[in-house]
Chains A and B, each alone.
Chain A
Amino acid sequence: MNKPATGIPPASTYFMVPESEREEQHTLAVVVDNEPGVLARIIGLFSARGYNIEQLTVSETEHDKGISRITIVCRGTPKILAQIRNQLSRLVPVHSVADLTMEGEPIERELALVKVRGEGDKRIEALRLADAFRARVVDAHTGSFVFEITGKTRKVDQFIQLMKPLGLIEVVRTGIAAISRGPEAMKM
């Protein structure tokens, strides 16, 4: 019954050319009015249109004006990334969108809290490595530490990797906050 018929054109019209361009990772800064549902709107846009979102950081930045800044790390071909920028910029509560990666290498930082349980040598080694990574001890017990580490994603990744054999039991990360270099502020 369901054998494909031969000599008949495909029955679906949704014939898209496969993307052959290379994917890139970009960091976007999106300034929005902090109104209810604005984050859902942005996330919904990504899921509805099939864009990849890798990291998302949101916080109010100007309380009296009700403005929030969202940092999005996303991945796609240059064409898709341009679409993402355009789709974001036409959302009604969006003030402005900047592709920080396109504007130059932005400063990107994230914060992680890392809980490590261990005793003896492992405990000393964890403390020593934390010092090398400039991670701070924010909670200490006889059998555990919570470290606070700030830095580029790669540095945080590396620190977490090193903590694994030393008794890592829990991690929480903020996702990155990013800002452009130089004297210029983001256009509003």
Chain B
Amino acid sequence: MLPMGFSKLSAVVDVEDEKTMTQEITGAQMTGAEIVLQALKDQGVKEIFGYPGGAVLPIYDELFQQDEIKHVLVRHEQGAVHAAEGYARSSGRVGVALVTSGPGATNTVTGVTDALMDSIPIIVITGQVPTTLIGTDAFQECDTVGITRPCTKHNYLVKDVNDLARIIHEAFYVATHGRPGPVVIDIPKDVQFATGTYTPPEKVRHRTYHPQTEGDPQAIEQAVELMASAKRPIFYTGGGVINSGPAAVAALRALVKATGFPITSTLMGLGAFPASDPQWLGMLGMHGTYEANLAMHDCDVMIAVGARFDDRITGRLDAFSPGSKKIHIDIDPASINKTVQVDIPILGDCGRVLEEMLRLWHEKKAEPDREALKRWWDQIDLWRARQCLAYENRNDVIMPQYAVQRLFALTRDLDPIISTDVGQHQMWVAQFYGFEEPNRLLTSGGLGTMGYGLPAALGAQAANPDKTVICVSGDGSIQMNIQELSTAIQHNLPVKVFLLNNNYLGMVRQWQELLHGNRLSESYVEAQPDFVELARAYRWTGIRVEKPDELDDAIKRMLETEGPVFVNVQVANVANCFPMIPAGHAHNEMILSEEVKSSEEAGV
């Protein structure tokens, strides 16, 4: 560590250097490809994920001739976008992907849609055929802006090289301001070759897009008054808190502590509040905890923060938290009153609003109704006593829940980043892995994209080279982007894959068992590769574990082994993920596992 004074001094010098650099660059003439690289550098980009092709060759040529921006070569363009998402989600910075035209662009669509649904700020730069060929069905031509219009926050086709720098800077602004999201920039090859004027970022101000960040003071005051009068309150928080940044997380934690209210969160919001805290009720929703869902159903004041009342959260809408007054803080006006009508909507950045609420709470010397709150907590404790996540552990075969519990126990001190794919294993991670800090869970919440986990882990590792990054996956999901195993080797990204292998598409099988008369239509994966051998073929370390008493050793070996490690955990093949709110049911109509204590046993 440098002494404070010294580091400050050097910081000043850096700023000076940047200024002179910028002045030199202002108005500088460059090719389109040079402009792309310069704009990315000016935006602070250090790593990008991509795959070259005919229509982006000029940009790759520039990339080759510089050292500041590192390029991670993926094996499929979808992987590049998920890696950019993992990079963004784990670091709070913008993730960038670079792909070619046509199939390169269409392959990004799933990732781009995923980022839109989960509000992840990423930039996807796509090559395009030369402007003269656009519309002629040229080789590797597709209508990229047309295809990505509904799945981006915004997109651009750059037709004039003089607009290029401005558009790139605008794209970063749009991706990160308001509700974050993906922005696609389509750059024809002739624009990459053409020479034009560079515009530095500070000269760019957006003409139209200026989302409101400060909440309405009157609404905030009403909300604080409502909170102070609550008898059965609950905080329901989402990914918006994490997107808003560390200040929002700190304000949320302080407000929850100051009020003494219980708190639950969506999948995307896990980690914003520490799972070890007694006020934490666990995740809510379809596979949420009994106590979280019943508390949501029975509460009288709900404080929704950066969450969007998704159908997986609300269950049956007309029976959703019927007796509560609802406060909803969100930066996206279209998220307010979309499916659930709320009483006090507050449009603004949740960090700013929470800080203001906290300030008012203290200023008014607000006191919750202690007696009512105690009764509420007594009720919640009775629900908790039923231990809704209980399952029957076995000696002969590894239960998937047990595998996640052991992973948590043996890795928690490392404060790792965990990515997941989609399905049962994802829900078990949400239920059994206790996240203490934000930006540690990378998961596809809105779109539910199988194949997200591995590339997202690679992106997170690139952003956090010193951290342990573990992808918990399933045998179905991992095969949807398994080619990225190769990327990890090429770029020395020592991620760990912890595969819960049950030979089934587990969540599909569970729904078929519970909702479709146990007719297991196409959910059994008969011909499975030997994942350990497959991983070794990709030059990963492969570990196989089949018995519960070998599990801890396998996890330790995974952590101790340098470089990427693939652990195939053979788990019980027909375990179900409970609790579960079946389709079209209310929060108080959960299916619980047989292992859950009855109300009498729990003393309810």
Chain A residues near B (Cβ < 8 Å): 5, 8-17, 32-33, 36-37, 40-41, 44, 48, 79, 82-83, 86-87, 89-90, 92-95
Give chain B interface residues in 396-424, CB to chain A under 8 Å. none
**Contact between B515 and A8, CB atoms less than 8 A apart:** yes
**Top 8 A-B pairs ranked by shortest CB distance?**
A15-B584, A92-B154, A86-B334, A86-B333, A13-B583, A9-B582, A11-B515, A17-B318
- Which one of A17, A48, A89, A94 lies within 8 Å of B150 (CB-CB)? A48
1/0 contact trace for B307-341 toward A, CB 8 Å?
00001100011100000000000001110111001
**Contact between A13 and B149, CB atoms less than 8 A apart:** no
**How long is the Cα–Cα vector from A32 to B207 in the complex, in angstroms?**
10
Contacts of B178 in A (CB 8 A): 90
Contacts of A14 in B (CB 8 A): 311
Give chain B interface residues in 166-182, CB to chain A under 8 Å. 174, 178-179
**Contact between B153 and A92, CB atoms less than 8 A apart:** yes
Contacts of A86 in B (CB 8 A): 333-334, 336
Chain A CB within 10 A, most for which of B155, B211, B338? B338
CB distance from B344 to the nearest CB of A (A): 16
**Contact between A87 and B583, CB atoms less than 8 A apart:** no
1/0 contact trace for B57-72 toward A, CB 8 Å?
0000000000000000
CB distance from A70 to the nearest CB of B (A): 14
CB distance from A20 to the nearest CB of B (A): 11
A33 touching B317 in the complex, CB below 8 Å, given contacts A9-B515, A86-B336, A90-B178: no
9 residue pairs of the A-B complex, CB under 8 angstroms, read: A5-B516, A8-B515, A12-B583, A17-B317, A33-B208, A87-B334, A89-B333, A90-B332, A93-B154
**How long is the Cα–Cα vector from A10 to B585 in the complex, in angstroms?**
9
**How long is the Cα–Cα vector from A41 to B154 in the complex, in angstroms?**
9
* Beyond known contacts A13-B311, A95-B208: 18 more, CB 8 A cutoff: A5-B516, A8-B514, A9-B585, A10-B583, A11-B583, A13-B584, A15-B316, A15-B584, A17-B317, A37-B149, A41-B149, A79-B341, A86-B336, A87-B334, A90-B178, A92-B208, A93-B208, A94-B208
**B524 contacts partner chain A, Cβ-Cβ < 8 Å:** no
**B511 contacts partner chain A, Cβ-Cβ < 8 Å:** yes
**B146 contacts partner chain A, Cβ-Cβ < 8 Å:** yes
Query: Which secondary structure characterizes the binding site on chain B?
Result: loop
**Contact between B333 and A12, CB atoms less than 8 A apart:** no
CB distance from A126 to the nearest CB of B (A): 44
CB distance from A99 to the nearest CB of B (A): 14
**How long is the Cα–Cα vector from A87 to B517 in the complex, in angstroms?**
41
Contacts of B311 in A (CB 8 A): 13-15
**Contact between B149 and A5, CB atoms less than 8 A apart:** no
**Contact between B517 and A8, CB atoms less than 8 A apart:** yes
Contacts of B333 in A (CB 8 A): 86, 89-90
A79 touching B337 in the complex, CB below 8 Å, given contacts A9-B515, A92-B209, A95-B208: yes
**How long is the Cα–Cα vector from A94 to B582 in the complex, in angstroms?**
40
Chain B CB within 10 A, most for which of A33, A90, A94? A90
Contacts of B211 in A (CB 8 A): 90
Find the A residue at minimum CB distance from B584.
A15
**B145 contacts partner chain A, Cβ-Cβ < 8 Å:** yes
**Contact between B517 and A92, CB atoms less than 8 A apart:** no
**How long is the Cα–Cα vector from A82 to B337 in the complex, in angstroms?**
9
Contacts of B208 in A (CB 8 A): 32-33, 92-95
CB distance from B154 to the nearest CB of A (A): 4
Residue pairs across A and B with CB atoms within 8 Å: the count is 76
**B157 contacts partner chain A, Cβ-Cβ < 8 Å:** yes
Contacts of B337 in A (CB 8 A): 79, 82-83
Contacts of B336 in A (CB 8 A): 86
Find the B residue at minimum CB distance from A47.
B150
1/0 contact trace for B374-414 toward A, CB 8 Å?
00000000000000000000000000000000000000000
**How long is the Cα–Cα vector from A129 to B341 in the complex, in angstroms?**
51
CB distance from A42 to the nearest CB of B (A): 11
**How long is the Cα–Cα vector from A40 to B317 in the complex, in angstroms?**
32
A16 touching B582 in the complex, CB below 8 Å, given contacts A36-B157, A94-B208: no
A44 touching B149 in the complex, CB below 8 Å, given contacts A8-B517, A13-B312: yes
1/0 contact trace for B206-242 toward A, CB 8 Å?
0111010000000000000000000000000000000
**How long is the Cα–Cα vector from A158 to B33 in the complex, in angstroms?**
59
Chain A CB within 10 A, most for which of B333, B334, B338? B334
**Contact between B517 and A40, CB atoms less than 8 A apart:** no
CB distance from B430 to the nearest CB of A (A): 17
Contacts of A48 in B (CB 8 A): 150
**How long is the Cα–Cα vector from A32 to B209 in the complex, in angstroms?**
11
Contacts of B584 in A (CB 8 A): 9-10, 12-13, 15
Contacts of B516 in A (CB 8 A): 5, 8, 11
Give chain B interface residues in 123-177, CB to chain A under 8 Å. 145-146, 149-150, 153-155, 157, 174
**How long is the Cα–Cα vector from A9 to B332 in the complex, in angstroms?**
34
Find the A residue at minimum CB distance from B589.
A9
Find the A residue at minimum CB distance from B173.
A92
Contacts of B179 in A (CB 8 A): 90
Find the A residue at minimum CB distance from B337.
A82
CB distance from A100 to the nearest CB of B (A): 19
- Which one of B145, B317, B318 lies within 8 Å of A37 (CB-CB)? B145
**Contact between A16 and B317, CB atoms less than 8 A apart:** yes
Find the A residue at minimum CB distance from B512.
A11
**How long is the Cα–Cα vector from A40 to B337 in the complex, in angstroms?**
25
**Contact between A15 and B338, CB atoms less than 8 A apart:** no
Chain A CB within 10 A, most for which of B150, B511, B514? B150
CB distance from B322 to the nearest CB of A (A): 12
Contacts of A12 in B (CB 8 A): 583-584
**How long is the Cα–Cα vector from A16 to B339 in the complex, in angstroms?**
9
